[in-house]
Amino acid sequence: MADTPIDDARLAKDLDLANSFPWSEAHSDYVSGGAYKSCMIWTLGGDAGDGVVTKYDHRQPGAFTQYGNQLPYLRELISTVVDLDRLNFVRLAKVQNSVIIPHRDLLELGDLPDDTRNAHRMHIPLVTNEDCFFSEGNTVYRMRKGEIWFLDASVIHSVAVLSAEERIHLMLDFVNAPPEKPLITIPGRGVEAGIPQDRTVKRPPLTDADRVALLRLADVATMETVDDIFSIVIKKYYRYDGGDDFVWNTMLGIARAATDPAVLPHIKELHRYFTIERSPYE
């Protein structure tokens, strides 16, 4: 983790203008409770496209899109903070009143050459609040405004925005970095490894009674209600520590006990798609 100063007045002008742009809802299948909205401001080839990274020509150099070119402060921030030579994609990402299914990214990029495939993910929070959370494995933490976070998007991770206020992040994807050249180009800004203790959320242990109550959701689990149940289980995960792989283990347990026979194969298929394998065409 590192950080960078944020000019609130200039940021507000850019975000206000960005609200008038078309926002893609690609990848909203990852979200329970709302939509995942994104606006591509740097892509390979400079075309905003639809936000699905497998649909861009990875042989093209990166460039600001027609939307990025209208956002002078964000363009300046990106240009001064990171190494543009290895930058593949930058998107503004908005989420509110939603949770994101625990998943692994990059699974569908395995056929791309190493020197063009997304390999590193960076987040810079621009608008956030105390009810915005991120997780890796069984660790839940908060990212603060202006912090620069490097993430291993190939491990299972998730997001919760338990607020009506929008969480807005810059998400940046890079190709592999030569070890002698850092991705962050701010002079004097070192990178702190790991998650600082004061960013980690201390959750009380999930009680046995709560675990039993969640599994009783099998009584009402149907193909019509399974998305709502997923949301309940993920929200419980962000407030209580249920152990490793809590969300998927709980959902599979509920699905096995459900009377609707379609629920278990559906959850197994979601588990495959989000955490094990998926193709660029799914």
**Segment 18-44 mean pLDDT:** 93
- Residue ranges of domains in the chain, CATH in brackets: 2-199 (2.60.120.330), 208-275 (1.10.1720.10)
Predicted confidence at residue 185, as pLDDT, reads 72
Whose tokens are 């399974």? That residue is 226
What six digits make up the tokens of 229?
Answer: 């149940």
Could you tell me the strand order of the sheet in which 132-136 lies?
31-32, 98-103, 157-161, 132-136, 139-141
Task: Tell me which DSSP letter residue 28 carries.
Answer: G
Q: Which of 105-119, 123-137, 187-201 shows the highest mean pLDDT?
A: 123-137
Among 9, 2, 26, CA closest to 94: 26
The model's pTM: 0.91
Predicted confidence at residue 183, as pLDDT, reads 77
- Report whether 124 contacts 151 (CB < 8 A): no
Among 232, 259, 258, CA closest to 247: 232
- Report whether 164 contacts 148 (CB < 8 A): no
Whose tokens are 């020197």? That residue is 115
For the CA atoms of the chain, what is the radius of gyration? 19
What six digits make up the tokens of 69?
Answer: 């070119």
Q: Based on the number of CB atoms within 10 Å of its own CB, is 9 exposed (0-12), middle (13-18) or buried (19 or more)?
A: exposed
14 phi, psi to nearest 5 deg: -65, -45
280 vs 247, more confident = 247
Contacts of 165 (CB under 8 A, 6+ apart): 96, 127, 129, 131
Half-sphere exposure (CA, 13 Å, Cβ side) for 92? 26
Q: Indicate the helix (H) or strand (E) that contains 211.
A: helix 208-215
Looking at the DSSP assignment, which residues form a beta bridge with residue 140? 135
Buried b (16+ CB within 10 A) or exposed e, 65-95: bebbebbebbbebbeebbebebbbbbbbbbb
Pairing, β 147-151 against β 2-3: antiparallel
Task: Tell me which DSSP letter residue 237 carries.
Answer: H
Lowest mean pLDDT among 149-163, 182-196, 219-233, 261-275: 182-196
Predicted confidence at residue 20, as pLDDT, reads 97
- Residue by residue, what is the 3-state secondary structure of 123-155? EEEEECCCCEEEEECCEEECCCCCEEEEECCCC
Instruction: Tell me the C-alpha distance between 268 and 251, whole Å.
Output: 9
Instruction: Tell me the C-alpha distance between 173 and 29, whole Å.
Output: 20
For the chain, first and last CA: distance in Å?
Answer: 33
Predicted confidence at residue 100, as pLDDT, reads 96
pLDDT at 158 over 60: yes
Average pLDDT, the chain: 91
Q: How does pLDDT run across 184-224, given as a tens digit for each residue?
A: 776 555 566 788 999 999 999 999 999 999 999 999 999 99
